[in-house]
Structure 1
Amino acid sequence: MTSETMTVEDVRTSEPSRVRDYVALTKPRISVMVLATVAAAGYLAAMVGPVSPWDVLHACLGTLLIAASGSALNQAIERWLDARMSRTSNRPLPSNRLSLNEVVTFGTICFCVGTVYLWTTLGTLSAALGVGTWVLYVWIYTPMKTRTWTNTIVGAVAGAMPVLIGWYATGAPTHAWIVSVFLLLFLWQFPHFMAIAWLYRKEYAEGGMKMLPVVDPSGYWSGIEAVVTAVALVPVVAIPAWLLDGPVRWVYLVIALVLTGLYLSASWRFLLERSETTARRLLRVSLLHLPFTLLAMILATLFSYSLPS
């Protein structure tokens, strides 16, 4: 009787734990950021034409499912590498809390449901963009991580593509707004990636991942990449100022340039002194730069009384 009671209790207590493990497979913090960028792109699409909130919601839900699939299958492919690194060894798969079959099944279901959902609610283009993002992330970026330091370029493209789903889900035409947001997302990732890769360079090396700080232990080229891409962000964040009207354009421009200036400053300090302190500072600034730049962009549109098409 005691044995049976223990078994029932074990089952009861294990279910919430398994749910948490499945949630962990989706990398929730990354998923939240993806949702935010999709929603922001959908909102900004209203600047060039009518937008249905339902289309934006459909884009968010479908993209969330595909992102969850990508994260899960990424962990399935990298399970042996994750097991070697203390930062990732406690993930559900390397810690044996979930089996490979469970993770692959979960990832496959999320991908299929997400793709069909985007296709039936928004059409072929949105579904194709979702599939393209998934292929880039799972089948190109993930294998490249153990082969070449240029993997971050492909990873940055995949990371920026969800904004295209959010934009084109509304039926909006290609416009300077989406070009600027895509470039913002693409370039922002490089200093962010370099900070993380530098902080965990020893673990990446143990896991066999050829990140730039692993290939170049001095960190010099990691710093160069961070600075060059941060400099490239300056004209990119300025583009929306010319799409806005009235005094608010100058308010936005000042805010965007200050935020990007701080990002560039943190990148420059990292280049001059490659240390844990400067890398962590760069990482913190990166996590502030993107959301506040997008927020400034969105708030500026609320106060701008006319926008060119």
Structure 2
Amino acid sequence: MYRTLAFINILLTLGLIVIGGLVSADFTGLECTSWPICYAATVDKSSIYPILHRVFAGIIIVLNTFLFIKHPKEKSVRLGLFLLILQSLLGGINFIYKLPTLVSVFHLILSFAYIAIFSQQFYPVIKKQELNLKGYSPSSKDLVFIMLLIAFGQFFFGGIVHQTATKDVCGVGDNINILCQTAEGLRFWPTTVAAQIHSLHKYLGVLFLVVLLAFLFSIRKTITLLHGRAFKQFSLLSGSLVGLFLVHLFNAKRLFLLTDTTYFQVLHLLLAIIITLNLLFLFQWFKRFEEVFFGGYKHTVASDLLSLTKPRLGLLVVSTIISGILLTGQYVDFFYLINALIFSILIVMSATTINCYMEIEVDSNMVRTKDRALPAGRIKPIYAVVQGWLLFILGFSLTYIYVNKVTALLGALAFFSYLYVYTPMKRTSPAALFVGALPGAIPPVMGRTIVTGEIDGLAILLFGILFIWQIPHFMAISIYHKQDYAEGDIKVYPHYYSIAKMKICIALWTLLLFLFSSAGYFFGLNSWNFFIASLVVNGLFFAQSLQSFFIHDEPSYVAWARQYFWGSIIYLPLLLSLMIFLS
């Protein structure tokens, strides 16, 4: 029953994306001047798409709510409901405030994320069978991962092209060149931002084709080793990837040759989603195949070097940088912003890489980290040192030259304080938590200085929010990883404080976060609307911290700490989003 409803949910969401694509392609949403219900003067093509879009959204919300009631412990249902609420709020705010194109693209990306969550129910099941796997190469998996990254990039830039007039700036009619057709002739990199976005979208498509050919070449040996169920699964996923890409390529050509391209645009978008899902399924096939036949994930040098950069942590840091950028409310050149983010990511990756090198001994003593690339001995420590410093030199230099020196110096401050103050200190004193919160609070300030070039009042407010938020957040982590930290000889407050004292500390720091994040209004840094919204969000988060005082046994206390951790993960992006949209 659950799988059936999950499948229906996926189909409805695909339908929602298709209808949303028709709305944006024809700009028919302009006929609906109300939200969430569409009150159009007449019911025709100009209004039926927006009406259907909101009807589908309503059905999906009802279905997911039903799934949540029936299966409240399913992670996919809980995360899906959270994404739906976020989607609805974003859609409403976008409609009311007419936010920039990037917000609409993010709205689309959330829809894909929603589909991906429920698609996990249908990942291929690998069964043990007799296979001679001598000569199997896990590097093919790396190529699938690269195609996934390119597909996400295509999805992002394609969303911008679809949502704007960018699709018309690089030649139409008989022109089907890969290069951009401008008034001056064919250009590899045109001068206008719109044409550059269009060109980049096409070049990513060419890059995808190159990696796809490399993948097909790399699996020539693997496919001969398979037979039976494994062969059928792998052949189906690989063959469908090639077939879908060829159809996608043909459809892209049609977009150039036709003047009325509405339905081909929507088909282009739908094919992109299905191709990305196909890649997700193929990547999961590799992972599950290796777990069944090799007893675990088969690492490669490339995947191990990437793991040193801790991509998940980097994603969180980048999101806080973006929040600082968006809060400026100023015009920013699109590619200046993209480059600044990439350079900042290089600095973050450099710090996490060298941190892995510095903590080889610590990681080798902790259960959850001992299988990492360095403590497990899969790569030599010198590789981490070289990679880390090359990334830092590159990131710092490019930021200093092409962004501004304030942002570069902030990045360097975060880098050195994190590695050479916090990292050694956390093995001697639990107070390292406060030292580590300093570099952790710098990224949103960097986002602000990327645009303004200076540290102002709002930058200080963001720094304070991130600094205070980290204290109870990491205190909660240290509660349910208390034993793990002890084995790694990392000093944390649960080793020194009683349960009662830890409860008080977390509650007081959460209260301080409440007061500080709401205080910006009184200094003219935030709007009245944000002040009211922050009272609600902060009140709920503070209430969660007070729940611990009603818990009297240690297992429930540890479970609460984990719940508080997830609450903090939801709280921070929600607060920053409200600050952006209600500024």
* TM-score when normalising by structure 2: 0.47
The one-letter code of the counterpart of 1:286 is S
For 2:534 and 2:304, the matched residues in 1 are separated by 38
Which residue does the alignment assign to 1:283? Answer: 565
The one-letter code of the counterpart of 1:203 is D
Q: Aligned ranges for residues 143-162 of structure 1 at < 5 Å? A: 143-162=424-443
Tell whether the 8 Å contact from 1:66 to 1:114 is kept in structure 2 after alignment: yes
Which of 33, 41, 46 lines up with 2:324 in the alignment? Answer: 41
Tell whether the 8 Å contact from 2:407 to 2:453 is kept in structure 1 after alignment: no
For 1:15 and 1:98, the matched residues in 2 are separated by 17
For 1:114 and 1:254, the matched residues in 2 are separated by 39
Please state whether the residue corresponding to 1:169 is helix, strand or coil: helix
CA gap of 1:271–1:19, structure 2 versus 1, over 3 A, is farther
- CA drift at 1:278: 1.0
- CA drift at 1:219: 3.3
CA gap of 1:261–1:77, structure 2 versus 1, over 3 A, is same
Q: Number of residues paired by the alignment?
A: 290
Which residue does the alignment assign to 1:87? Answer: 368
For 1:278 and 1:11, the matched residues in 2 are separated by 40
**Could you tell which deviates more after superposition, 114-123 or 231-240?**
231-240
Tell whether the 8 Å contact from 2:374 to 2:380 is kept in structure 1 after alignment: yes
Alignment of 1:25 onto 2:308: yes
Output one character per residue of 1:220-277: Cα deviation in whole Å (capped at 9) or x when no partner: 44333322221111222223445378xxx44322321222122222222336646211
Which residue does the alignment assign to 2:493? Answer: 212
Percentage of matched positions with identical amino acids: 27
Which residue does the alignment assign to 2:518? Answer: 238
Which residue does the alignment assign to 1:305? Answer: none
The one-letter code of the counterpart of 2:381 is L
**Could you tell which deviates more after superposition, 290-299 or 171-180?**
171-180
For 1:239 and 1:59, the matched residues in 2 are separated by 30
For 1:26 and 1:262, the matched residues in 2 are separated by 34
For 1:175 and 1:219, the matched residues in 2 are separated by 39
What stretches of structure 2 of length at least 5 have no aligned partner? 1-132, 144-299
Q: Aligned ranges for residues 114-263 of structure 1 at < 5 Å? A: 114-216=395-497, 218-242=498-522, 243=524, 249-263=527-541
Which residue does the alignment assign to 2:581? Answer: 299
Tell whether the 8 Å contact from 2:521 to 2:528 is kept in structure 1 after alignment: yes
Tell whether the 8 Å contact from 1:62 to 1:114 is kept in structure 2 after alignment: yes
* TM-score when normalising by structure 1: 0.86
Output one character per residue of 1:67-105: Cα deviation in whole Å (capped at 9) or x when no partner: 111111111111111111111112111122222111111
CA gap of 1:270–1:75, structure 2 versus 1, over 3 A, is farther
- CA drift at 1:61: 1.5
Please state whether the residue corresponding to 1:149 is helix, strand or coil: coil
**Could you tell which deviates more after superposition, 233-242 or 112-121?**
233-242
Tell whether the 8 Å contact from 1:204 to 1:214 is kept in structure 2 after alignment: no
Q: Higher relative contact order by CA 8 Å / sep ≥ 6: 1 or 2? A: 1
For 2:349 and 2:475, the matched residues in 1 are separated by 24
CA gap of 1:298–1:15, structure 2 versus 1, over 3 A, is closer
For 2:487 and 2:573, the matched residues in 1 are separated by 33
Which residue does the alignment assign to 2:240? Answer: none
Please state whether the residue corresponding to 1:106 is helix, strand or coil: helix
For 2:400 and 2:314, the matched residues in 1 are separated by 20
What stretches of structure 1 of length at least 5 have no aligned partner? 302-309
- CA drift at 1:115: 0.7
Q: Aligned ranges for residues 95-110 of structure 1 at < 5 Å? A: 95-110=376-391
Tell whether the 8 Å contact from 2:485 to 2:492 is kept in structure 1 after alignment: yes
**Could you tell which deviates more after superposition, 254-263 or 67-76?**
254-263
Alignment of 1:71 onto 2:347: no
Please state whether the residue corresponding to 1:170 is helix, strand or coil: helix
Larger radius of gyration: 2
Tell whether the 8 Å contact from 2:340 to 2:450 is kept in structure 1 after alignment: yes
For 1:111 and 1:65, the matched residues in 2 are separated by 6
The one-letter code of the counterpart of 1:269 is Q
For 2:334 and 2:531, the matched residues in 1 are separated by 28
Tell whether the 8 Å contact from 1:62 to 1:117 is kept in structure 2 after alignment: yes
Tell whether the 8 Å contact from 1:222 to 1:271 is kept in structure 2 after alignment: no
For 2:540 and 2:378, the matched residues in 1 are separated by 42
- CA drift at 1:144: 0.7
- CA drift at 1:10: 4.3
For 2:352 and 2:499, the matched residues in 1 are separated by 28
